A and B are shown apart, each in its own frame.
Chain A
């Protein structure tokens, strides 16, 4: 043990103490990776936890939940009355309301069976209601609000609370303040609880509830009861375990979350490359010491363990620092991710921060494990050092060269495997193999990198021959000479930049595709939705009676009421069921069909034949196509509908089945409208029409009306916001990779002291040495960039051709935003050269006399 302590001190601790700067960069790299990982993981966990928390708070002690696409007709509750002998059930109405004022916000409304609901959910008032308060509550129109919500908005019992629900401005009265426990925990307390009838009235949905929660007595067989419930339930209603809602919500954002996780891991991966790099350098530099120690009888395992400990040390230090950074980063990431989720997916979702501990523990474990794993190879190489004292300089590189063939073979195998993986279908709607292919390309990159470095270093000489200036020759010599180390730096950069380039291509392609799609789809002049408090997307819905009102207005040519409800197939895979007026489509078009047929004719025929249109993501996810049938659970039971056509849709990755409104209304007693598209009469000024509609509905309805142009802008705005986090992560990964270049060069500068001393002695100026180092940096950057372009092309192909269609179901037209790509590449090249500045200084400052004196 004592012996090992000395080995460790000689090889690791001592040098680290002497040159602490050497470990600063890898520590920093791991720290950034760990911080990004922790932040992203935490944000993702928070999203999932918030969904789960909200769902479990709302579900309470529920064993089963009964739901229906358009809710559960209240009469159908009678079918469940047999349950009273073995448990209880509690119907509930859910919806959203928009609270106005200086800071509009969206809150969840939950209407329950007062009194009876206690069997399922805990609704606890901060102070037990006095008798007067009870009476008020019973008289309807009162809502209970959570304590934090009341504090935030300055509410107390008896105060009135103006809100927009169901597209209509209303005033509720605060009936009591809830403890932040039980159901009030949902969405961090952003929930209004009221009696079921008041909720129905607020949301304009009389005669329906949205869910029925069933709690069985202890000892009652769940499965037998489930069967019995299903036997008695009217057609069109479904029975689910309570976690389903959270799982569905989670699934909605799964692809989004996964993208973030992948990018978060990329950052850590780049950090790991830095560790591998640093330890390889350490091994190279300390070969004489290793040889001496071996000669003195140190075993291979001791050497191995010493370097592994170095990796562990770097991992620990980086992780510790990363956790501190993560504390700050997680706040920013949570805000960004939570914002996106509530903006795009669930408007009433307030994403509360989950406990940080799990995310930090996981990222710490990953940071440390990855650092140690990154050390395995260099540490093993260290054990290969023979105790013979006279190792010739360069012989390691020679050995590396001998391994080239094997590495190239492996790289080719990885590429072949990647190609095979890219052909494999999604696993449970998840592009597992697609992501595996990305991983394999990364592996191929890492394997081939040293060869790339040597190739790149020989190119200038080959093309310029003797006319290559001495500085250039020096740079290429240095660059190619340490192909192993530079290979790591190059592949880290190629990976980070390649992923970034691919993301740029992907995002640009999707954005352009969406833009074109929006142009061709958004034909309407005005788009009306319930006031959403300034939010994009749809919050709440509108009463059906607004339809004739708008339709009858002067200057309105046609109105297309759109209705969308979330549902799921028999296996619980979520999709959207929508209804629109196919008669309007038959006139105006606006649903671009995949096969290029005229949507007007297809819509007309679908309307006549009672057929449906499906979106492209639906077609992909459910394997449906024009001519096949899709099954929809209606209020009259599951019904099959023939698919008239598949249309392009980029607004929803779950997939949509859309039917004519008249067909929808015959299947569901759900006349409400999610949004309303208005076609103006020819020559009608849309601004004037909007003013007229607003004037005609003022006081009665709370509407938000966008013009065509505003809506288009909004769509792209949402799009850009969604990818904001992605951009930040890419930038971080690149920054870490550039640090890697700086690290490799700095290490080389230190290692090549003797060479630099000699160069100075034979007449090289400091400037020449600096230039050579900068040139080497440029070469590293350029090779990395070239590799990144190749990798980026592969990543782009995988993202656009495999991962994106498999996870979103979208066909995306490739668009290569040359200027952005060039910009990114130029930026990275410039950053690489900058990364050479400090190493250049170290190199040129070498005192030749001292350097040449050293052994």
Chain B
């Protein structure tokens, strides 16, 4: 579902899919996987009550390291993003193979501070001309392995898979420094880590990805792989993480997803679904997911070259008839025309 899986194709090896996942090692990099990424999204609020959304992503495509950082300020109607590209070189960009420690220039994500190890606490840092974000993320849930023992199938081919681990709810505290002014921020974040061959399944045209954090303490991850001919691939699926207890895989038959409106990007002219109606029958869940602001489109010409929409959304839902709230991050790819003819196999 992440952008790069469409981008950097070429099934040049098959990852050892069978090795069991263990932490903190598997928060580290997997050099045998062609494509890998670490993905944080989250909703933050400052002490004065202003709400923000952020996305910080570290990609690795073989020896290339890329990173995107996006900051949404819905109350000001501002959305800004930055990107970085480097070869994996000491001091420039890289990732540890032992633990979470990934960086690109002075952006980083790691599970320690200096030499002091603080298990379960992730440190995030990113800086752009708009501001500087420093966060400490505490996992409120253990890592979730999506699919069968952490292997998420994307399509029918042997390389159409990735290892997919999430920490669906992390409490975030930290600072957002703008123009020398420090704002204390706190909120909730979502962490995804995927690695694999990075092939785009045959016939796929793009995908929509949802990371929903509901106010009842549960989370839902959904992704829909859209086929070129229209409709969803049978490999579209999701994972539901209840407030307590083991996660459940959600099959696409269980899901109904409709776009209620569209927003046309003034930058790329792409028309994105803007408000979604989502229902998961087995969960008795009905939700409306709407963006905090319409324009959260990234056109990453300097790194991945992909144009996609990735944004903070609010959720109004009913679960078993009871009204609940929630927040989400939604990613939509394959809507900007020029981005579609990628490197499909």
Question: Do A and B originate from a single complex?
Answer: yes
The reply to whether A78 and B106 contact each other, CB–CB distance below 8 Å, is no
The reply to whether A139 and B90 contact each other, CB–CB distance below 8 Å, is no
Q: Does residue B229 face the partner (Cβ distance < 8 Å to A)? A: no
Q: Does residue A114 face the partner (Cβ distance < 8 Å to B)? A: yes
Q: Does residue B8 face the partner (Cβ distance < 8 Å to A)? A: yes
Q: Does residue A210 face the partner (Cβ distance < 8 Å to B)? A: no
Binary per-residue interface labels of chain A (110-136) against chain B in the complex, 1 for a CB within 8 Å, 0 otherwise: 000111101000000000000110110
The reply to whether B85 and A135 contact each other, CB–CB distance below 8 Å, is no
The reply to whether B89 and A74 contact each other, CB–CB distance below 8 Å, is yes
Q: In the complex the two chains form, what is the Cα distance from A113 to B104 in whole Å?
A: 13
Q: Does residue A77 face the partner (Cβ distance < 8 Å to B)? A: yes
The reply to whether A84 and B89 contact each other, CB–CB distance below 8 Å, is no
The reply to whether A131 and B7 contact each other, CB–CB distance below 8 Å, is yes
Q: Does residue B9 face the partner (Cβ distance < 8 Å to A)? A: yes
Q: Chain A residues near B63: list those with CB within 8 A.
A: 138, 140, 195, 197
Q: In the complex the two chains form, what is the Cα distance from A118 to B93 in whole Å?
A: 15
Q: In the complex the two chains form, what is the Cα distance from A81 to B91 in whole Å?
A: 5
Binary per-residue interface labels of chain A (7-45) against chain B in the complex, 1 for a CB within 8 Å, 0 otherwise: 000000000000000000000000000000000000000
Q: Does residue B64 face the partner (Cβ distance < 8 Å to A)? A: yes
Q: Does residue B158 face the partner (Cβ distance < 8 Å to A)? A: no
The reply to whether A135 and B92 contact each other, CB–CB distance below 8 Å, is no
Q: Does residue B105 face the partner (Cβ distance < 8 Å to A)? A: yes
The reply to whether B87 and A116 contact each other, CB–CB distance below 8 Å, is yes
The reply to whether A138 and B105 contact each other, CB–CB distance below 8 Å, is no
Q: Does residue A182 face the partner (Cβ distance < 8 Å to B)? A: no
Q: Chain A residues near B106: list those with CB within 8 A.
A: 81, 84-85
The reply to whether B61 and A138 contact each other, CB–CB distance below 8 Å, is yes
Q: Chain A residues near B66: list those with CB within 8 A.
A: 115
Q: Does residue A809 face the partner (Cβ distance < 8 Å to B)? A: no
The reply to whether A75 and B90 contact each other, CB–CB distance below 8 Å, is yes
Choose among B9, B85, B89, B91 the residue that contacts A196 (Cβ–Cβ < 8 A).
B89
Q: Does residue B273 face the partner (Cβ distance < 8 Å to A)? A: no
Shortest B310–chain A CB gap in Å is 19
Q: In the complex the two chains form, what is the Cα distance from A91 to B10 in whole Å?
A: 28
The reply to whether A115 and B303 contact each other, CB–CB distance below 8 Å, is yes
Q: In the complex the two chains form, what is the Cα distance from A325 to B91 in whole Å?
A: 56
The reply to whether A139 and B62 contact each other, CB–CB distance below 8 Å, is yes
Cβ < 8 Å to B, chain A residues 59-101:
74-81, 84-85, 88-89, 91
The reply to whether B64 and A138 contact each other, CB–CB distance below 8 Å, is yes
| Most A Cβ at <10 Å: residue of B7, B63, B92, B342 | B92
Q: Chain B residues near A81: list those with CB within 8 A.
A: 91-92, 105-106
The reply to whether A116 and B305 contact each other, CB–CB distance below 8 Å, is no
Q: In the complex the two chains form, what is the Cα distance from A217 to B289 in whole Å?
A: 42
The reply to whether B90 and A77 contact each other, CB–CB distance below 8 Å, is yes
The reply to whether B92 and A138 contact each other, CB–CB distance below 8 Å, is no
Q: Which 6 A-B pairs have the closest CB atoms?
A: A115-B85, A84-B106, A81-B91, A78-B91, A116-B86, A77-B91
Q: In the complex the two chains form, what is the Cα distance from A716 to B287 in whole Å?
A: 87
- Give 7 new A-B contacts, CB below 8 A, not counting A77-B89, A138-B64, A195-B63: A77-B92, A80-B91, A88-B105, A115-B86, A116-B93, A196-B87, A197-B63
Whose C-beta in chain B lies nearest to the C-beta of A90? Answer: B92
Q: Chain A residues near B305: list those with CB within 8 A.
A: 131, 134
Shortest B224–chain A CB gap in Å is 23
The reply to whether B302 and A84 contact each other, CB–CB distance below 8 Å, is no
The reply to whether B7 and A116 contact each other, CB–CB distance below 8 Å, is no
Q: Does residue B343 face the partner (Cβ distance < 8 Å to A)? A: yes
Shortest A568–chain B CB gap in Å is 25
Interface size grouping (class) on chain B: 20 to 34
Q: In the complex the two chains form, what is the Cα distance from A115 to B87 in whole Å?
A: 8
The reply to whether B64 and A115 contact each other, CB–CB distance below 8 Å, is yes
Choose among B10, B87, B341 the residue that contacts A139 (Cβ–Cβ < 8 A).
B10
Binary per-residue interface labels of chain B (43-69) against chain A in the complex, 1 for a CB within 8 Å, 0 otherwise: 000000000000000000111101000
Report the interface size for chain A: residues with CB under 8 A from the other chain: 28
Q: Chain B residues near A91: list those with CB within 8 A.
A: 89, 92
Q: Chain B residues near A84: list those with CB within 8 A.
A: 105-106
Q: In the complex the two chains form, what is the Cα distance from A78 to B96 in whole Å?
A: 14
Whose C-beta in chain B lies nearest to the C-beta of A129? Answer: B305
Binary per-residue interface labels of chain B (72-108) against chain A in the complex, 1 for a CB within 8 Å, 0 otherwise: 0000000000001111011111000000000001100
The reply to whether A118 and B62 contact each other, CB–CB distance below 8 Å, is no
The reply to whether A116 and B92 contact each other, CB–CB distance below 8 Å, is yes
Choose among A75, A80, A114 the residue that contacts B85 (Cβ–Cβ < 8 A).
A114
Q: A131 with B105: in contact, given A81-B91, A114-B87, A138-B64 (CB under 8 Å)? A: no
Q: Chain A residues near B91: list those with CB within 8 A.
A: 77-81
The reply to whether A197 and B90 contact each other, CB–CB distance below 8 Å, is no
Q: Chain A residues near B302: list those with CB within 8 A.
A: 115, 118
Whose C-beta in chain A lies nearest to the C-beta of B8? Answer: A135
Whose C-beta in chain A lies nearest to the C-beta of B338? Answer: A131
Q: In the complex the two chains form, what is the Cα distance from A131 to B336 in whole Å?
A: 14
The reply to whether B342 and A131 contact each other, CB–CB distance below 8 Å, is yes
Q: Chain B residues near A75: list those with CB within 8 A.
A: 90
Binary per-residue interface labels of chain B (115-128) against chain A in the complex, 1 for a CB within 8 Å, 0 otherwise: 00000000000010
Q: Chain A residues near B105: list those with CB within 8 A.
A: 81, 84, 88
Q: In the complex the two chains form, what is the Cα distance from A132 to B62 in whole Å?
A: 16
Q: In the complex the two chains form, what is the Cα distance from A132 to B89 in whole Å?
A: 24
Q: In the complex the two chains form, what is the Cα distance from A135 to B34 in whole Å?
A: 12
Q: Chain B residues near A138: list those with CB within 8 A.
A: 8, 61-64
Shortest A219–chain B CB gap in Å is 14
Q: In the complex the two chains form, what is the Cα distance from A630 to B64 in whole Å?
A: 43
Shortest A773–chain B CB gap in Å is 80
The reply to whether A78 and B90 contact each other, CB–CB distance below 8 Å, is yes
Choose among A77, A78, A116, A135 the residue that contacts B343 (Cβ–Cβ < 8 A).
A135
Q: In the complex the two chains form, what is the Cα distance from A114 to B85 in whole Å?
A: 7
16 contacts between A and B (CB under 8 A): A74-B89, A77-B89, A77-B90, A77-B92, A81-B105, A81-B106, A113-B86, A115-B85, A116-B93, A131-B343, A135-B7, A135-B9, A138-B61, A138-B63, A139-B10, A140-B63
| Most A Cβ at <10 Å: residue of B87, B302, B341, B342 | B87
The reply to whether B7 and A195 contact each other, CB–CB distance below 8 Å, is no
The reply to whether A113 and B92 contact each other, CB–CB distance below 8 Å, is yes
Shortest A206–chain B CB gap in Å is 13
| Most A Cβ at <10 Å: residue of B7, B62, B91, B127 | B91
Cβ < 8 Å to B, chain A residues 179-222:
195-197
Q: Chain B residues near A89: list those with CB within 8 A.
A: 92
Q: A116 with B85: in contact, given A74-B90, A91-B92 (CB under 8 Å)? A: yes
Shortest B298–chain A CB gap in Å is 16
Q: In the complex the two chains form, what is the Cα distance from A710 to B162 in whole Å?
A: 62
Shortest A252–chain B CB gap in Å is 31
Q: Chain B residues near A134: list those with CB within 8 A.
A: 305
The reply to whether A135 and B10 contact each other, CB–CB distance below 8 Å, is yes
Cβ < 8 Å to A, chain B residues 9-29:
9-10
Q: In the complex the two chains form, what is the Cα distance from A132 to B305 in whole Å?
A: 11
Whose C-beta in chain A lies nearest to the C-beta of B105? Answer: A84
Q: Chain B residues near A78: list those with CB within 8 A.
A: 90-91
Binary per-residue interface labels of chain A (132-165) against chain B in the complex, 1 for a CB within 8 Å, 0 otherwise: 1011001110000000000000000000000000
Whose C-beta in chain B lies nearest to the C-beta of A128? Answer: B301
Whose C-beta in chain A lies nearest to the C-beta of B66? Answer: A115
Q: In the complex the two chains form, what is the Cα distance from A114 to B8 in whole Å?
A: 16
Q: Chain A residues near B89: list those with CB within 8 A.
A: 74, 77, 91, 113, 196
